[in-house]
């Protein structure tokens, strides 16, 4: 589950699918993610226009690609490109 501090009891258990709004590849991470480089971060625009920052796993996604939610890991949403 992902909960916003200012949203009261509203939490996301499954953000669903969306479209990549913007993305980047990370090569210089913070120490806790050093073993993951390179990895892709994206802002995903969900249904209803909400945007969520998460990681893309598998094939690289580009702006405009459809992605679907895969799982949360340490409260970080992971998405995968929709084929």
Please write the tens of the pLDDT for every residue from 9-62. Answer: 566 678 889 999 999 999 999 998 899 999 999 999 998 889 999 999 999 999
Higher-confidence residue of 16 and 66: namely: 66
Stated pTM of the model: 0.84
Across the range 57-81, mean pLDDT stands at 94
pLDDT tops 60 at residue 74: yes
In degrees, rounded to 5, the angle at the alpha carbon of residue 82 between the alpha carbons of residues 81 and 83 is 110
Contacts of 32 (CB under 8 A, 6+ apart): none
Q: Are strands 66-73 and 76-81 parallel, antiparallel or unpaired?
A: antiparallel
Point out which residues pair with 58 in neighbouring strands.
Answer: none
φ/ψ (deg, to 5) at 64: 95, -15
**Whole-Å CA distances, 42 to 6, 27, 39, 46, 75:** 22, 14, 10, 12, 15
Q: What is the mean pLDDT of residues 55-76?
A: 94
């Amino acid at each position: 589950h992902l909960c916003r501090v200012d949203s009261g009891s509203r939490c996301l258990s499954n953000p669903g699918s969306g479209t990549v709004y913007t993305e980047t590849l990370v090569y210089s991470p913070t120490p806790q993610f050093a073993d993951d480089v390179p990895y892709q971060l994206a802002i995903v625009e969900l249904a209803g226009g909400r945007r969520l920052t998460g990681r893309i796993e598998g094939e690289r996604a580009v702006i405009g690609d459809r992605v679907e939610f895969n799982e949360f890991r340490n409260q970080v949403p992971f998405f995968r490109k929709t084929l």
